[in-house]
Amino acid sequence: DAGVIQSPRHEVTEMGQEVTLRCKPISGHDYLFWYRQTMMRGLELLIYFNNNVPIDDSGMPEDRFSAKMPNASFSTLKIQPSEPRDSAVYFCASSLKIQGTYEQYFGPGTRLTVT
């Protein structure tokens, strides 16, 4: 398997623009997670899905952030409008289960810079 795939790897945009990050989880995994990594706050869980259904979005910082999972092989994280403080690395991860010793597999991340 190719692992978790994210695109784009780098995104530079101007404040106020819409940004869409994309993720393809590992085939057969039931769970998908979106994380944000910054120097100040470390790795934060934004939202996670089970079988394409959002389970917990309490980590989504504001209404400007939204995430969808239209099918088992694709998810998007959208920021509209973007702000400079959204600059971070966004990771997608997937897992077969979220119980016990099942590990989560991470994609390479999207580095977002909002100017």
Shorter beta-carbon distance to another protein: residue 30 or 81: 30
Dist. CA 40–CA 49, nearest whole Å: 26
Residue with tokens 């994210």: 6
List C-alpha distances in Å: 10 to 21, 62, 101, 114: 10, 22, 32, 11
Shorter beta-carbon distance to another protein: residue 68 or 111: 111
Q: Does 43 bind another protein (CB under 8 A)?
A: yes
Subset of 50-89 contacting another protein (CB under 8 A): 56
- From 14, 17, 18, 98, residue interacting with another protein (rule: CB under 8 A): 98
Dist. CA 78–CA 65, nearest whole Å: 6
- Interface residues toward another protein, by CB under 8 A: 4, 31, 33, 42-43, 45, 48, 56, 91, 93, 98-101, 103-109, 111
